Structure 1
Amino acid sequence: MSTWTPLESNPEVLTKYIRKLGVSPSWSVTDVIGLEDEMLEWIPRPVKALILLFPCSDAYEKHRSEEHERIKDVEEQHPSDLFYMRQFTHNACGTVALIHSVANNKEVDVSGGVLKNFLEKTLALSPEDRGKALEEDKEFTAGHQELAQEGQTNASEHEKVIHHFIALVNKNGTLYELDGRKSFPIKHGETSEETFVKDAAKVCKEFMSRDPNEVRFTVLALTAAQD
């Protein structure tokens, strides 16, 4: 298993990254400064995904294990075009969350480049094989490594990362949690274009409530660019 340098939760760096990958300049990554309703109104619209960064604490691992046991034998149905991939590369969770955010929103245009090539190459693959394909993709690895050096902290000093990125998206009216460390997508009930931001914020709050003494949570959004 290979190890990448971790991405920092820096909206400017992540926006530069997705554009380098081929995402249209019409879209960007922005900070979510609060999860209260009035704060959510400040997020530029439309919002296509929320990206949560949180510590991989004992509480998260316990919930992940219990959730897996509860769901593993349930034959859940998911949309055929839901793009879900496993994460097998250490510290690739930021890239995986961005892939999940973009690939599950057809309105987000992706022109020729490493991301478009990757999505086309892995379209018919299983989530596991998609994860392996990312690990073996030298162009993706190089792009990630280059951008990971542009944060405000020295990323090379943080090779052992305890934080994790996941994506929350609206797919055909269902709110999905897409976490490459989990064996399958997680459904969080119905949502809509109008209620997605509040619905996704509620899921973020659930993560926080499971770790009430933890403050190291960051929420970002994939939104229309305000340039």
Structure 2
Amino acid sequence: MSGEDESSGWQLTESDPGVFSQLLKTLEVPLVVDDLYSLDAESLSEFQPLSAFIFLFKWVQSPTSPMAGTFDSDFPGFFAHQVVNNACATLAVMNALGNIPGLPMGSQLSDLISFTTGMDAQTRGMVITSSDWLREAHNILSPPSSVSLDGLELPKTSEDAYHFIVYMPYMGSVYEFDGLKSHPINHGAYIETGEGWIAKARDVIESRIATYPAGALDFSLLALHEDPLPSLTAQLNEAQKANDHAIAEQLMDRLANENAKRERWTFENSLRRHNYVGLIHALVHAMAKAGTLDKTKVDARKVMTERIAKQKEKGGSSIEED
């Protein structure tokens, strides 16, 4: 969950597939993340095998009891509490990765998970968020602001807090991992046939989404799934060896789409890493020399006044993602 205190050193995380996929790459895990706009079977088919759903929602103070399902106080798997602000994206990823049997991972991640074996959720959360290398991996695409507003005595505004949780299968049941809850939440057993755990998770997630007002945009959903590039490349090689040109062409199209997506992620992530303070200073300086700065300031004040008025009409809150 996000918060105003950044003293922990953990920065806000954008709910973006490129950001999460870069984190997974840093952790040396052969998984990627994609946006989901529907939970129907056809939409999910391209992401199989699917390991987990990462759900982002607007956090509000709620009862300690779960909305659905039951707390599993004897959960034998991996579960960590969130003990610092802004870390919930990486905590959600960790709670997912720690419960995928046989998942290949980098030595640092493997050592961290092994080291926390047997710890209670609170201690495990403290150990994870005390890990410098993991915090750096988390922050690499969300660096702290280069401009400090401290000391300007600006009016404080309340900000909506957003929170990441995970839904995934574990030992025959669908579990919800929420780092702000006391224990993992068991949503019951699923049927192995058909869609398996996904059918059960769909019911749970759709029931939760139904609690929001119609048309609300207070949540988003991501799919954590196997990186399709190795499998597609192997299938293409087999199709080419078999001279199956139709299948080969389909596979080449899918590979091209996947590679184009990775190129877009790389470009967008390079923009996230960039410090724009120098560019902004140069633009302001050029506008001042050209004599257009005063008019631009007046226009900007007008636009900001209109935005503030619209915000007040909607309730006066701004939105942050974490």
TM-score by length of 1: 0.81
Rounded to whole Å, the distance in 2 between the matches of 1:192 and 1:137 is 38
**Deviation at 1:71?**
5.9
Aligned match of 2:10: 4
Q: CA-to-partner distance for each residue in 1:56-115, whole Å, 9 max, x for gaps? A: 13xxx33x43439x967xx7543x2x10110011011100110111110024211212x2
Aligned match of 1:220: 222
Tell me whether 1:51 sits opposite 2:54 in the alignment. yes
Aligned match of 1:181: 180
Checking the alignment, whether the CA contact within 8 Å between 1:91 and 1:161 is kept in structure 2 is: no
Percent of aligned positions with the same letter in both sequences? 27
Q: CA-to-partner distance for each residue in 1:120-159, whole Å, 9 max, x for gaps? A: 111121111011112221121122111334xxxx9x99xx
Rounded to whole Å, the distance in 1 between the matches of 2:191 and 2:118 is 27
Checking the alignment, whether the CA contact within 8 Å between 2:35 and 2:221 is kept in structure 1 is: yes
Q: Using CA pairs below 8 Å that are at least 6 residues apart, which structure has the higher relative contact order?
A: 1
Checking the alignment, whether the CA contact within 8 Å between 2:64 and 2:181 is kept in structure 1 is: no
> How many correspondences in the alignment?
208
The SS at the match of 1:65 is coil
The SS at the match of 1:67 is coil
Alignment of 1:11-22 (within 5 A): 11-22=17-28
The SS at the match of 2:228 is coil
Higher helix share: 2
Tell me whether 1:198 sits opposite 2:199 in the alignment. yes
In the alignment, residue 40 of structure 2 is paired with which amino acid?
Answer: E
Q: CA-to-partner distance for each residue in 1:22-52, whole Å, 9 max, x for gaps? A: 213xx2111212123433334x111111110
Closer, same or farther: CA 66–105 of 1 in aligned 2, 3 Å? closer
The SS at the match of 2:93 is helix
Tell me whether 1:165 sits opposite 2:150 in the alignment. no
Rounded to whole Å, the distance in 1 between the matches of 2:174 and 2:83 is 24
Segments of structure 2 that go 5 or more residues without pairing to the other structure are 1-6, 150-158, 230-322
Segments of structure 1 that go 5 or more residues without pairing to the other structure are none
Larger-gyration structure (1/2): 2
**Deviation at 1:216?**
2.1
Tell me whether 1:88 sits opposite 2:87 in the alignment. no
Closer, same or farther: CA 143–200 of 1 in aligned 2, 3 Å? same
The SS at the match of 2:164 is strand
Closer, same or farther: CA 71–224 of 1 in aligned 2, 3 Å? closer
The SS at the match of 2:209 is helix
